[in-house]
Structure 1
Amino acid sequence: GYTYSITLNGSDRAGNAATPAQLLEIRIDLTPPEFTAFYPENNAFINNLDLGWTLSEDIAAGTVFFTHMGADTKLETALVDMELKAVTRAPLALLNSVALRDGMSYRISIIGTDFAGNTSDELKIENITYDISPPEMTISQPKSDSFVNFLDVKYQVNEPLVSGQMIWINDNNKKFVYDLRENDILEGMHTLQNYDIETEEQIPYKILVTGLDRAGNESTSDTIHNVMFDVTPPNLTILNPLPVTPINHTKVNLIISEPIKMGSIRWETAQGNDPKAPHLKILSGEQLAGGEFTDFDFSSPPDLINGVQYNITIEGTDLAGNASEPMSVKNVLFDTIPPEFINILPVNGQYIREADITYTLTEDLDEGKIYFDHVGGMPDPKKTHMITLAGGKKTKGTQGGKLPASFVRLVNGAIYNIRFEGIDAAGNSAPEAIVNNIVYDNEPPILAITTPGNNSFVNLESISFSISEDIVVGKIQLTHVAGIVDPNSPKEVILDEAERNLGVFENKVFSELKWVDGATYNLTINATDLAGNDADPVQIKNITFDITPPVLDILKLNNNGYINDNTLSYSLSEKLASGTIIFTRISGEEDPRSPQVVELSGKELMAGNFMNQQLANGPNLVNGSIYNIEFS
C-alpha cells in the first residue's frame, strides 16, 4: 500500500559507473480491490437498471454480469470511465447499457481488477426482478352508470403493490382519497370495504384505484363513471283500487318513486276459490323508469275469477338493489257481473196516476238514476225528469215507492218512457231497462148521464151517458127507491170493453137491469180509469119506469049530449106529464078558433077525478056550435 521509488545503480568491471535507472512512485499493491454496498438489494424489483456501489480503489477493468435465474444465460457489460474509480457511486444507469427482459429475475454480480492485477471478489445480489410493466388493475364492481346501496368496491390486481389508493370524485370534482390497507394491495381480487367512505345519495361519483408496484411502476385502473349511491328503498304504491272495494278489471293506479331494476304485482286469494292463484305479473318498460301510472294494465292481464276477493301486492327493487317494502291492498272483490233492474212496475203501456215505481236490484248499486223521458201525449216543457237514487234505494232487493212531486212533476196526459240506469261499486253498468209508453194520468174520468133525468118518468130502458176518457172498470147500478117493489134491486151491469172507451153513448139498453114497470129508481154510474183514478159517481134520482098507458075518461058527457058551461069533468088513472083536450067544431054555429087545443096544466095533470073543472087554458066554446071532444 506504500509508494516507492526504485533506483538501479551499477558499474562495469572497468569501474565505469552506469547511469542510474529509476522507477518513480512505484506502488506496492498486494490487496485486491473490493466492491461493497451493491445496490439494489437482494430480491428487489426494479424498473430501471440503476446500479450503485462502493469501490475501494481505482481499478483497471471491471465487469457487471446479469445471470437469468434458473438458467445459464448470462449477459455482461464492461465498466468504463468513472465507473472504474474508487468512489461511492449513487445508483445510476451503466454507461454500457444492457437489454434486460421485462419480468425476468436476475442475479447481478460485479468484479474488477486493479492496476496491480489484483482481482476483486465477485459481489452478487440475488433475485433481482426487472419489471417495467405497470400493474394491471380492474374494478369489477360497481359498474359505470349504476346505482349501488353499498360502498364496497371490488378490484383485481395482477401483482402485489407497494401502496395503493381508492379515489371517489363527486360531480363537483371533490376528491375523497383512501389509502389501501396492506391486505388490499396483494395480488388478486379484493373487496374494499369498511373504509368509512362518506357519500351523499343521488349524487354521481367517479371511482378509480391507483397503485405503485414493487418496481415503482405506477398504474391507475379504468375510471368507473356515474355511480349513484342509494340506500333508500323505493316506494311502490297502489293508489287504486282501494281496500275492500269491488273492481271489474285488472287495471291499477300506481306510483313508483324512482327507477327500479325489477318489480311485480301479485294477486293472492283472500276469500273464495281461485285454483290459479297467486297471479304474478312482472313490471317492465315504462314502469321500470318510475313515475305515476293511471289505469295501468298488463298486456297479458291476470285471469281473475268473478266473485273472488284478492289481496293485491306490489313490490320492487331499485337500481341500487334496495328492496321496497311490499305494499298490499286487501280484500278487493273482482266483480264482472253487472247489476240488473228486474220486476219493474209499471209495465209497458201502463197508465199511472202517480210516480210510484217498484223494481228489484240483483245487487247493491254505487250509483243509480231513473229518468222519465217525454215521448208523446200532452206536451211537457221539461223533456226529461231525472231522479238520483240514494240510500236504501240502491240496495239489493225490492225497492221503490212514490216519488215526491217535488222531485218529479209529470204532466197529466203526457206519455213517458221510464229509463233505469245503474252502476255497481265495481263499475259494471246495468243493462238498460226501459218501460215504454207510460201514460201519466192523475185526473179522474168525468162521467155524465144525459137521459133519463132526475125525477123523470120513462117508458124506455135506454140510457145515454158519456165518458171523458178510456176507463178500465165501469159499472151502472139501478136501485129501487119507490113504486112497485123490485125484489132484485139493486141491479148492476159491468160495462164491456167497447163501452169503456172515451165517448158518448146514446140510448144504450142494458137488458141486465130489467126495469120493473111502475117502480121508481135511482140510476148510478161509476168508473175507474186506466191509471186507477176513481171518477166521481153520477146519480140520477127518482126515475119512474112506466110502460102502462094512462086511462083518460070524460065524465058526465055522452055522445050527442048538450052542455051549457065551459066546465069539464074527467078522470086520470095516473099523473100525466102532459095532457091535451081538443074541441073540434063539426056543425052548428061557426067557431073560427076550431079546433081549440087546451093544454092541461098544474093540478089538472094529477091523477084522480076532476068534476066540473074550469080548465085554466080554456076552451072558449061558441054558443050553438056542435063539437067533438078528444082527450089525449
Structure 2
Amino acid sequence: LNRIPELVDGASYMIRLEGIDLAGNTNEATPINSYTYDASPPIFTQLSPESGSLVNEVNLSFTINENLANGQIIFTRTTGAVDAQSPHIVNLSGSRLLAGDRGGKLPKEIIELINGAVYEIEFVGKDLAGNVSAETKIDNFTYDDEAPVVFLKAPTNNIHNNFLALDYLISEDMVSGQIKINIDNKKDIIIELAETQRLQGEYSQFIPTEFSELNDGVTLDFELSGTDAAGNVSQPHRVENVKYDTTHPIISIIDPISDTAINQSTISLNISEDLVEGYLVVTQTSGVFDTRSPQKIPLLNQEMKLGEYDHVQFVNGPNLQNGSIYTFEFSGKDFAGNEVRSSKVINVLFDNEPPVVSLSKPVDAEQIKTTEISYMLSDNLSKGIITFEHTGGSTDLASPHIVELSGSQLKQGPQLDINMNLMDVLADGARYSLSIQGWDRAGNESEISSVK
C-alpha cells in the first residue's frame, strides 16, 4: 500500500479489495464485512484478595475488560516457607476467558500452595488480537492453612483447687480467642481474650474478673479456642471436672477431752471431708519426759476419709510414754490444698499402769469390833470400793456390804483408820472377808487386795 490508513482503536470496519487488470477487467471481490481494529492490551482490574492479604484458601476474583484468547494466573513464591514447586501456573479456560467479573475458589487438586509461604500472583492475558496485558500483580499474598494450636496447661482434669488461675499456650497470633467456662453443667461464662492475651506465646496466672463471682463448691469445665488472621479455627482444648473448693476441712477431736487421763492411744474424731494429707501431732507438755515428742503421725488413706470414727488406733501410732502429759491436734490439707482446722486437746495424762492397793488393817483372822480400816494407794483413784463379804458364822442375808470411797479417801498414799460405818449392818458373830479395789482416772483397774 502506498498509504497506511489510520484506523481507530476499537472501531469495526468492512474491508474490500478492488482491482483492474491490464485488460481493464474489474475483480469481483467478496468484502470482509466485520473487521475490528484492536490495538489495546486486555486489562485485569478489581483484583481480590488485596496485596498483603493472609488467607487459608485460594479464592480469587478479578474483572476482565474484554474476551481473551488465553490467560494465566502465576503464583511465585517470594519469601516464607520454601515451595519447591514454585511457580504454580493456572491456565484460564472456558468462561474465565470472557469479559466481566470472573474468579472463584481454586481447589488443592488444581494448585497446592505451601503453608507459611508468601507469594506474588501475576495475571497474564492475551486478547483475540494478540495484545498482551500489562503487568498486573497481587503482592505479599501469604498462605496459611494450618489452624492455631491452643493448650490449657492449668488447671488440669479432675483436680480440686482453692485458687483459680489459667496457664495456657497459643502457637500463633490470633484475631479472636475465648475461654468458655461451664458451671455445674448448668451455666456458661464466655471470656473473650483481649489482643494482648491471644498473641503467640505462653501465659500464666491469668485470672479473669469472672472468677471472683464463682461460688465455693462448684464444678467447672474449661474450653479454650481461637481463630487466626487467615480464618483458621483451632481445635478447642478442654479441661474437665475442676472442683473449686475454698472451705477448710475440720477435724474435731471427740475423745480424749482436755484435762483427762487415758490408758490407750486411741482417738475418737470427726472429719468433715476427704483429705489428701493428714497428721496427728502429739506433744508432751509435762509429766514424765518423752524423748519422742513431738510426734507427727502420718495418717493412711483410709484414715483420712470423711466421717466420724470411734476410738481409732492409727496404724502409725502414736507411741505414748506412761506418766507423760500431752496435747493432741491434727494438721493436713484437703485435695484443693485447704489447710485442716483442728480442735486441740490439752493436759491429757497417759497412764497405762494399774494402781496398786493394799490393806494394812485389819489383818487376817483378826476379830474386829469396829469397821475402821487402813490401806495404801499407789496413785490417786477415780473410784474405789471396800467390800465386806460374809464367809461364815452368824447368818447375814444382806451380804455383801459395799462402800464406795470418796473425797480424800481416794488420794495417793496411806489412808489410816478410815471408818466404813458398817457396824450397824454387819451380823454379830459372823465372819467376813474384807477386800479393796480401785480404778485410776485413766480407767486402769487394780488387783483386789483382801484379808479374811
Q: Residue 113 of structure 1 is aligned with which of 98, 122, 125? A: 125
Q: Could you tell me which residue of structure 2 aligns to residue 230 of structure 1? A: 245
Aligned to 1:561: none
| Residue of structure 2 in register with 1:362 after alignment | 378
Q: Distance in 1 between matches of 2:107 and 2:252?
A: 77
User: Is the CA contact 1:108–1:128 (under 8 Å) kept in the aligned structure 2?
Assistant: no
The correspondence of residues 272-421 of structure 1 with structure 2, limited to 5 A, is: 273-325=289-341, 327-399=343-415, 401-405=418-422, 409-421=425-437
Structure 1 residues 61 and 184: CA distance shift in structure 2, 3 A: same
AA at the equivalent of 2:241: N
1:392 partner SS: helix
Assess, with a 3 A threshold, how the Cα gap between structure 1 residues 84 and 372 changes in structure 2: closer, same or farther.
farther
Aligned residues: 432
Residue of structure 2 in register with 1:171 after alignment: 184
CA distance in 2, matches of 1:221, 1:384: 86
Deviation at 1:397, TM superposition (A): 2.4
For 1:128, which of 116, 121, 142 is the aligned residue? 142
Q: CA deviation at 1:109?
A: 1.0
Higher relative contact order (CA 8 A, sep 6+): 2
How far did 1:122 drift? 4.2
Contact 2:50 2:138 in 1 (8 A): no
Cα distance between partner residues in 2 of 1:394 and 1:342 = 13
Distance 1:169 1:125 in 2: 45
Pair 304,180 (structure 1): closer, same or farther in 2 beyond 3 Å: same
> In structure 2, do the counterparts of structure 1 residues 78 and 183 end up closer, same or farther at CA, with 3 Å as the change threshold?
same
Q: 174, 193, 200: which is aligned to 2:207?
A: 193
Does structure 1 retain, via aligned residues, the 8 Å contact 2:298–2:316?
no
Distance (whole Å) between structure 2 residues aligned to residue 109 and residue 176 of structure 1 = 44
The CA distance in 1 between the partners of 2:201 and 2:240, in whole Å, is: 23
3-state DSSP of counterpart to 2:197: helix
Contact 1:167–1:178 under 8 Å retained in 2:
yes
Deviations 1:526-584 (A, max 9, x none): xxxxxxxxxxxxxxxxxxxxxxxxxxxxxxxxxxxxxxxxxxxxxxxxxxxxxxxxxxx
TM-score of the superposed pair, with normalisation by structure 1: 0.62
- Structure 2 length-normalised TM: 0.85
Letter in 1 for 2:96: E
Q: Let me know the Cα RMSD of the aligned residues.
A: 2.9
What secondary structure, in the 3-state scheme, does the structure 2 residue paired with 1:351 have? coil
Q: How does 1:568-583 map to 2 (within 5 A)?
A: none
Q: Which runs of 5+ in 2 are unaligned?
A: 1-8
- Specify the alignment match of 1:8 in structure 2: 16
Residue by residue, what CA displacement relative to the aligned partner does 1:501-524 show, whole Å, maximum 9, x if unpaired? xxxxxxxxxxxxxxxxxxxxxxxx
State how far apart, in whole Å, the 1-side matches of 2:276 and 2:253 are: 18
Alignment partners' CA distance in 2, 1:348 and 1:215: 110
Where does residue 254 of structure 1 map in the other structure? 269
Percent identity at matched positions?
25
Displacement of 1:355 after TM fit? 2.4
Conserved 8 A contact 1:110-1:124: yes
**1:100 positional shift:** 2.4
Q: After superposition, what is the alpha-carbon deviation per residue over 1:92-119, rounded to whole angstroms, capped at 9, x for unaligned?
A: 3127843526734241513221313313
How far residue 326 of structure 1 moved from its aligned partner, in angstroms, is: 5.2
Relative distance call for 1:299 and 1:101 in structure 2 (3 A) is: farther
User: Residue type matched to 1:53 in 2?
Assistant: F
- Structure 1 residues 88 and 249, CA, compared in 2 at 3 Å: closer, same or farther? farther
CA shift in 2, pair 1:87/1:11, >3 Å:
closer
* Mapping 1:545-624, distance limit 5 Å: none
Q: Give the deviation of 1:150 after TM superposition.
A: 1.7
Answer whether contact 2:327 2:346 (CA < 8 A) is retained: yes
Give, in whole Å, the separation in 1 of the partners of 2:346 and 2:303: 22
Who is 1:65 aligned against?
74
Q: Are the equivalent residues in 1 in contact too, given 2:361–2:373 (CA < 8 A)? A: yes
1:148 aligns with 2:164: no
Structure 1's 146 and 95: CA in aligned 2 closer, same or farther, altered over 3 A? closer
* Counterpart amino acid of residue 84 in structure 1: L
Question: Could you say which residue in structure 2 is the equivalent of 1:203?
Answer: 218
